[in-house]
Structure 1
Amino acid sequence: MDAQKLKHRRQVRRSSRVRAKITGTAERPRLTVFRSSKHIYVQLIDDMKGVTLAAADTKAKDFKTGHKSGSNIQAATDLGKILAETAKSKGITKVAFDRGHFKYHGRLKALADAARANGLEF
């Protein structure tokens, strides 16, 4: 089997295990994280209605000013703060963390810790 196909198959299997346990509701939306090589994207999703309640990413123009890279731990920390502030303004305090197929390590851990420090509970 091709190495890329095998890698993708493993990623799908890992994300399926995580998603089987986590569902977002209006009271406790799912905080999903996608990490590319250059940027980080986060969303608060209500799975019952199929609606994104809030979103933030490192590609935003206001985020790019003051950051050299959108893919380091400092950027993830700042993104966690931004997301927590956005969620609080919409009345969301509790979320379910969906790491997808990524390990809870490095940039994901920094983002989660910053979101917790700024008022989100998960």
Structure 2
Amino acid sequence: MNKSQKKTARRNKIRRRISSTIRGTAERPRLCVYKSNSNTYLQIINDMEGATLAATEVKKGVENAKKAGEDIAKLAKENGITKVVFDRSGYKYHGIIKAAADGARDGGLQF
């Protein structure tokens, strides 16, 4: 197992542990963050219905992640959502993940 596979396995283990406790409901949907090699994705999900309520995608980068957080907060407000549960998907809370969370808070979402 190379370094990249170990890192992915570690994140998946953390993700499973987090998802066992975090559930999005109609009152407090889940704000999920995912990073690929080129993009950052944010989704607001109602796990009880299995529905994505809002989503945004931007190129990878801290500044873009903050903008994505503000955009997702704007979409959430249009759908009447003010409170969410933050799901960092097993990533460390710094850099892009922190910027996305700060952008969403600046946009008016409450965690």
Whether TM exceeds 0.5 here: the answer is: yes
| Alignment match, 2:89 | 100
| Alignment match, 2:48 | 48
Post-superposition offset of 1:5: 4.2
- Cα RMSD for the two superposed structures: 1.1
SS at match of 1:57: strand
TM-score normalized by the length of structure 2: 0.93
Q: Matched residues, percent identical?
A: 45
Unaligned runs of 5+ in 2: none
- Aligned-partner Cα distance in 1 for 2:78–2:25: 18
Post-superposition offset of 1:10: 1.4
Measured against aligned partners, the alpha-carbon deviations of 1:21-76 in whole angstroms (never above 9, x if no partner) come to: 21000110000000112110010000001111111111xxxxxxxxxxx1111101
1:90 and 2:87 are equivalent in the alignment: no
Unaligned runs of 5+ in 1: 59-69
| Alignment match, 2:6 | 6
Which stretches of structure 1, 4 residues or longer, exceed 4 Å deviation after superposition?
none
More strand, by proportion: 2
| Alignment match, 1:30 | 30
Greater C-alpha radius of gyration: 1
TM-score normalized by the length of structure 1: 0.85
| Alignment match, 2:62 | 73
The amino acid that maps onto 2:30 is R
